[in-house]
Amino acid sequence: TSPLLQYAFFEGEFVPSDQAKVSIATHALQYGTGAFGGIRGYLDNDGRTINIFRLSDHVQRLLHSGRLLRAELPYSADDVCGIITDLVRRNAPRHNVYIRPFIYKASLQLVPRLTGLKDELAVYMIPLDDYLDLSKPVRLMVSSWQRIEDNIIPSRGKVTGGYINSALAKDQAAEAGYDDALMLNEHGEVAEASGANLFIVRNGTLVTSPVTSDILEGITRRSIVEFARDAGIPVEERSIDRSELYIADEAFLCGTGVQIAAVGSIDGRPIGDGQRGPITEKLQDIFFTLVRGGDSPYRHYLTRVPIE
């Protein structure tokens, strides 16, 4: 059975998800010429509201990713936000969800280029609770796959074809018995995990790779920088050397899917004492209190959609 929720947005309308289908000759399917988003909707503590986290920021990044592919769509950012909130209302989930908007080259043409092709927007939803088991720290390896550099495939956008890089690294890590892979960039600096950004803690300072280190411009990452600074935790955005990983006091992954996941070891070397550290725990508290609808100074980051 399909894990998709009942309705999807496809070719300009809301349709039953099993009718949202493309041809095998679709350009994006053949060449990876798509751009996507990944957004979470959390069931509020009240049981009657879906809290979408940073919807307008996700839509803006989606449109920027589309722009990298020279996508031309008849929708403004507000239109896309409206389509997504309408879809949430129609599907009326009573559980946490993952929302996947997708811009893609829809023409059935065989030339690998960007212009002269029709662009489409589709959105679907799936149920999603924790993607990683957050109760135990994750075990990472440094992948032998290098992170795609911006001058090969734009790494700061969520570009479909670029995810081959993530799949190669994640697969290698899983085969070797790890939870996920960390990738280094062409300069040997730490970039990010297959589907998440990384923070480390050194001497009480949070450190994360800058957006010029071939990382996705992560929205959770940006949120954590803000949460930490507001909580009086110093933050540095600077390149991270591989050897700093091995002497970090704490490390965690962050992203829409993983949320905030403590890292227990990297390449078999324990991070700190191998357990979730206090800064990681504090940031998880701030994040989960917010998304579940608790009292938070960051409630403006939620789009609250009432469910009938």
Cβ nearer to ligand PMP, comparing 137 with 195: 195
Q: With binding defined as CB under 6 A, does residue 157 bind ligand PMP?
A: no
Closest residue by Cα to residue 245 from 167, 157, 154, 140: 140
Determine which residue in the list 216, 260, 266, 305 makes contact with ligand PMP, applying CB under 6 A. Answer: 216
**If DSSP codes are grouped into helix, strand and coil, which group holds residue 6?**
coil
CA–CA dist 123, 150 (Å, integer): 26
Q: With binding defined as CB under 6 A, does residue 160 bind ligand PMP?
A: no
Instruction: Give the shortest CB-286-to-ligand PMP separation in angstroms.
Output: 15
Q: Annotated catalytic residue: which of 21, 105, 158, 170? A: 158
Buried/exposed 119-134: b ≥16 CB within 10 Å, e otherwise: bbbbbbbeebeebbeb
Decide if 105 is catalytic: no
Q: With binding defined as CB under 6 A, does residue 195 bind ligand PMP?
A: yes
What would the two tokens of residue 279 be? Answer: 């800064």
Stretch that binds ligand PMP, among 4-12, 20-28, 252-260, 265-273 (CB under 6 A): 252-260
Q: With binding defined as CB under 6 A, does residue 221 bind ligand PMP?
A: yes
CA–CA dist 4, 227 (Å, integer): 33
Instruction: Give the shortest CB-54-to-ligand PMP separation in angstroms.
Output: 8
Determine which residue in the list 66, 255, 272, 277 makes contact with ligand PMP, applying CB under 6 A. Answer: 255
Ordered alpha helix ranges (H), 176-306: 219-230, 242-246, 278-291
Buried/exposed 29-67: b ≥16 CB within 10 Å, e otherwise: bebbbbbbbbbbbbbbeeeebbbbbbbebbbbbbbebbe
Instruction: Give the shortest CB-192-to-ligand PMP separation in angstroms.
Output: 5
Stretch that binds ligand PMP, among 81-89, 211-219, 242-250, 277-285 (CB under 6 A): 211-219
Interface with ligand PMP (CB under 6 A): 38, 166, 192, 195-197, 216, 218-221, 255-257
